[in-house]
Amino acid sequence: MKRFFALSILLIPLLAMPARGETIRWVDFHVPYESLKYAMDQDIATFDQEKHLSWIDILALAACRTGGKCPLSAVKQASSELRGDRSPQELLGELYKYYAYYHRAYSAVLGGLVGSYAIEKDGLWVPEYGLKAFSPIAAGYGYSHCDDFGAARSFGFRRKHLGNDLMGALGTPVVAVEGGVVEAIGWNRYGGWRVGIRSFDSRRYYYYAHLQKDKPFAPGLAEGDLVQAGDLIGFMGRTGYSDKENVNNIETVHLHFGLELVFDESQKECNSEIWVDVYDLVRLLSAHRSSIQGNERVYPYRDLDLEVFPQ
C-alpha cells in the first residue's frame, strides 16, 4: 500500500505535463532552498570550466526522478552524473519523456536569476558571473517571512494567497528582483498601491503589492519604464483591501511578493494564471541585496547577458 501511495504522489504532477512543444498550463514549483543553492553553486563554480553545469539542467534531471520534489540528495546525484559523458536522455531512460517539461518550467522560473553582470565600484565596472537577481528588500533592512503560499484569503471572495508576504518596517525600500518593463503601476483593490514588472524575456511577471500610503513608488516610476535588477521601485506599506485609493486596510506592514509565469499571453489575465511559490526563491535571493541610499542605488548595475560590457 505504501508503494502504491508513493507512486501516486510521483505521478500526480506528471499528469498535468503537456506533450512536447505544447503550452505549459500549470507549474508546481517545489524545489527546496538547499537544492536551489546547491545547483546554483555548481553552475557558478563550473562557469569557466570546459563543462559548464547549468543549474536548470541539474534540477530538471533531478525533477524527472522525483516528480518535481528535488530533494538535495537527488540534486547532488544529478550534478555528479552531468559531469560525466552521459546525456540526460541516457541517464533517465524512460523518464526522459518528462525532461522537456521540467526544463521549460524551471527555465521560466529561474531563467533570469543567474548569469553575467557588472557593478560599478569606485568608477570601475567589475564583471561577475553568479546570482544576478536581487532580494526584493534592500540591503540593511530586516524582514521576516514564512511559506504562506496557498493560505486562505477572504477579502472580496475566498481565494488562495498567491505570493510570499515579507514583514518589515514602514518605508522599507523595495527593489526589482529582475530587470524588465513596468507593466502595471497604481491602485488595485486587493494589492493597494502595487507595481507589476515583466521580465525582458516576457516569461515572468513580478508583483509587488501593499506599498506605502502617500509615497508608494520610486520617484518618477511610470508604466512602460525599463528597470534594472536591484533598482528602487517603491516602499513597503500596508495599503489595499479597499476600492478607495490610498487607504491602509491591511493590518500588518509587509510586502506581498508574487511571481506569475507566462508561457502564452492568453494566460496573463485569466482564471488559470500560473503563480508559483517563491518562498525558497526569496531565501536564495537574500544573499544578494541591493544597496539603496535616498532614492538611488549605490552601485550602478549592468546585465551583461543583455548588453555589452561597459568600457
Domain that holds residue 158: 152-299
pTM: 0.91
Answer yes or no: are the C-beta atoms of 259 and 275 closer than 8 Å: yes
Domain check: are 36 and 97 in the same one?
yes
Domain check: are 104 and 233 in the same one?
no
Has residue 131 been placed in a domain? no
Q: Would the pLDDT of 266 be above 90?
A: no
**pLDDT given at position 129:** 97
pLDDT for 78-111, tens place per residue? 999 999 999 999 999 999 999 999 999 999 999 9
pLDDT for 215-235, tens place per residue? 999 999 999 999 999 999 999
pLDDT for 114-142, tens place per residue? 999 999 988 999 999 999 999 999 999 99
**In the predicted model, what is the mean pLDDT of the chain?**
91
Instruction: Out of 110, 126, 141, pick the residue that ends a domain.
Output: 110
Task: Return contacts of 149-154, CB within 8 angstroms, 24+ apart.
Answer: 149/277, 149/278, 149/279, 150/277
Write the single-letter amino acid at 194.
R
Cα separation, 73 vs 75, whole angstroms = 5
Instruction: Out of 110, 143, 166, pick the residue that ends a domain.
Output: 110
Helix locations, 157-306, DSSP H: 279-285
Has residue 6 been placed in a domain? yes
Domain check: are 161 and 285 in the same one?
yes
Confidence of residue 308 (pLDDT cuts 50, 70, 90): low
Q: What one-character DSSP code corresponds to residue 269?
A: S
Cα separation, 33 vs 213, whole angstroms = 33
Domain check: are 103 and 182 in the same one?
no
Has residue 144 been placed in a domain? no
**pLDDT given at position 4:** 31
Instruction: Out of 87, 110, 133, pick the residue that ends a domain.
Output: 110
Q: Would the pLDDT of 309 be above 90?
A: no
The secondary structure of the chain in percent helix, strand, coil, rounded to multiples of 5, reads 25, 25, 45
pLDDT for 49-78, tens place per residue? 999 999 999 999 999 999 999 999 999 999
Domain check: are 161 and 292 in the same one?
yes
Domain check: are 289 and 159 in the same one?
yes
Q: What one-character DSSP code corresponds to residue 265?
A: G
